[in-house]
């Protein structure tokens, strides 16, 4: 589990088919502590939770390898990432740490794209088109993870668009200082919204099954 507070901008140094023959192996150069990227550890790469399969020193930094399954490639932008691309990196949340963002699982729901980028003083307002069907899980002033960054939804625009405001510190620490309109982005909706939508979607109308408690007993 993550918080959506990006800790490092890594650089992809290799992107090849995985040795297993399915999916991709992605090698990333980073300055994250080597002790926190041991084999088997999790790391969020542009918001997608991946498992470290190997690591080695790389000058004054290090590089780690992770395999992305076909399912991950189908739901994220990782398939399109190439050597030299920057990616946002975050280590998992440690119990007892302060939760500065929101609860991010690293399970990307789909790929959206940037519609527009508008300067607002030293900040930028970014309009993002969400993947189809995801807007029902997003609320104004709620949270959303974009490329692994925990952001507040500034406004709901139209059927599937949202606006977020990025402060200078976020632009400095993440890959979003280089984003352009049309760029794809990984989107993960708030897990609380998913659970609420699931509960409401599985309940019949009151006229059909009485109260939710009655419905639960009926299906037990």
pLDDT at 39: 95
Between the alpha carbon of residue 64 and those of residues 5, 32, 215, the distances in Å are: 20, 10, 49
Q: Find all residues with CB under 8 Å of 98, minimum gap 6, and list them.
A: none
DSSP per-residue codes, 170-184: HHHHSGGGG--TT-E
Q: Indicate if 68 and 138 belong to the same structural domain.
A: no
Is 211 within the bounds of a domain?
A: no
| pLDDT value of position 202 | 55
pLDDT band at 193 (very low <50, low <70, confident <90, very high): confident
Among 13-22, 59-68, 83-92, whose mean pLDDT is lowest? Answer: 13-22
From residue 134, how far is each of 30, 63, 144 by CA, in Å? 32, 34, 11
DSSP annotation of 67 reads E
Residue predicted with more confidence, 184 or 158: 184
Number of domains in the chain: 2
Which tokens hold the place of 74? 């189908």
Over the stretch 127-179, which tens digit does the pLDDT of each residue have? 999 998 899 899 999 999 999 999 999 999 988 999 999 999 999 999 999 99
Q: Which domain holds residue 178?
A: 110-198
**pLDDT of residue 187 exceeding 80:** yes
Position 171 in a domain: yes
Q: Quickly list DSSP for 14-46.
A: EEEE-TTSSSEEEEEEE-S-GGGS-TT-EEEET
Residue 184 lies in a domain: yes
Same-domain pairing of 152 and 124: yes
Q: What is the pLDDT of residue 201?
A: 80
* CA of residue 122 relative to chain centroid, distance: 24
- In a domain, residue 209? The reply is no
């Amino acid at each position: 589990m993550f918080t959506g507070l990006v800790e490092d901008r890594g650089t992809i140094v290799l992107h090849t088919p995985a040795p297993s023959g399915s999916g991709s192996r992605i090698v990333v150069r980073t300055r994250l502590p080597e002790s926190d990227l041991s084999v088997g550890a999790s790391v969020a790469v542009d918001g997608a939770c991946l498992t470290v399969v190997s690591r080695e020193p790389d000058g004054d930094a290090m590089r780690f390898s992770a395999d992305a399954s076909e399912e991950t490639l189908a739901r994220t932008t990782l398939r399109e990432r190439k050597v030299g691309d920057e990616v946002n990196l975050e280590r998992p949340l440690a119990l007892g740490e302060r939760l500065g963002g929101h609860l991010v699982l690293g399970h990307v729901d789909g790929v959206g794209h940037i519609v527009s980028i508008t300067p607002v003083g030293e900040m930028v307002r970014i309009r993002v088109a969400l993947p189809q069907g995801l807007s029902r899980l997003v609320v104004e002033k709620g949270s959303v993870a974009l490329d692994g960054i925990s952001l507040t939804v500034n406004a709901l625009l139209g059927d599937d668009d949202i606006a977020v405001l990025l402060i200078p510190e976020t632009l400095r620490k993440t890959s979003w200082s280089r984003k352009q309109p049309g760029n794809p982005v990984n989107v993960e909706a708030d897990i609380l919204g998913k659970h609420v939508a699931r509960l409401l979607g599985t309940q019949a109308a009151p006229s059909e099954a009485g109260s939710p408690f009655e419905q639960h007993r009926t299906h037990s």
